[in-house]
Amino acid sequence: MFGFELDGELIGTIRIVPLAYQLTLTETLLTQLGSDAPPVGPGDWEVGRLVLAPDCRSDVETLRHCLYLALQYACAHAPVTALFATCTHVLSRLYRRFGFGVFARDVPLPGTEKIYTLIRGASPDIELALSGRPVPPRNQ
Amino acid sequence: MDMQMRGVEAAGFSAAVVQGRRPFSIEDLVLRHLRTPAEIAGVLHLREEIDLSVHAAAGPHFATLEKKETSAVLCSALNSTGS
């Protein structure tokens, strides 16, 4: 669990959890995908529980920078191949800007009426997108 | 861009945009690995903004795992074994 500190005040938090231990919502939802579920291996992590204090949710750049700090820390302390996350479909559009891609949508959480969009990104792609550096065009 | 929502979406990878705090530089933001009970307590009010009730209903182990995550005892043990 991490916190984002501004002028000595914790104004946000985020959680990064390794996959493959059945601790995450992502893995619960992956079971709904059957054979369409992407493989999960060492170096795959779920990022979530992201909250910023209401008066700090001023713009996307704050969110982007918080994610950038968290990813930099994670990569400095553990192998990070890819990040997975769960969100609403509406927010998945935002996270595409940060290097994530949608690999499943409208995935139901068993026992509830909740549905999720699952997103994933390779660590280098997310790092580049969050860094603010120009993203080179993909080869067609 | 769909950040103009209010509130925080349950459990997932979500955030929101609300006007308020005086302008600040994002470069002033610092990441803290929360290791001590006091540090963890400092963000619990933020975590409580996430509505996890639907997940509690989804499985009997959810509440236990979530409680362990913010437990001072468990966090201390995990942090003592490295990152």
CB contact under 8 A, B58 and A110: yes
Chain A residue closest in CA terms to B82: A77
Q: Which of A56, A90, A112 sits opposite B21 (nearest CB)?
A: A56
CB contact under 8 A, A61 and B16: no
Q: Which residue has the higher pLDDT, B71 or A82?
A: A82
Q: Which of A10, A77, A116 sits opposite B83 (nearest CB)?
A: A77
* CB-based contact A50:A106 (threshold 8 Å): no
What pLDDT, on a 0 to 100 scale, did the predictor assign at position B25? 87
- What type of residue sits at position A27? E
Least Cα distance to A51 among B79, B37, B45, B31 occurs for: B45
CB contact under 8 A, B43 and A3: yes
Pairing mode, strands B30-33 and A9-18 = unpaired
Per-residue pLDDT 10s for chain A (140 aa) are 999 999 899 999 999 999 999 889 999 999 999 999 999 999 999 999 999 998 877 678 999 999 999 999 999 999 999 999 999 999 999 999 999 999 999 999 988 889 999 999 999 999 999 998 777 776 65
Interface ipTM: 0.85
CB contact under 8 A, A116 and B12: yes
Q: B6, B9, B13: best mutation site toward chain A, by most A Cβ within 10 Å?
A: B13
CATH of A2-131, one of 3.40.630.30, 3.40.1350.10, 3.30.300.30, 3.40.50.2300: 3.40.630.30
A52 strand-pairing partners: A12
Token couple for B36: 């001590």
Q: Tell me if chain B has a CB within 8 Å of the CB of A99.
A: no
Specify the pTM: 0.81
Q: Which residue has the higher pLDDT, B78 or B4?
A: B78
> What is the mean pLDDT of the segment spanning B14-25?
59
Q: Tell me if chain A has a CB within 8 Å of the CB of B55.
A: yes
pLDDT higher than 80, residue B49: yes
The pLDDT-based confidence of B8 (bands split at 50, 70, 90) is: very low
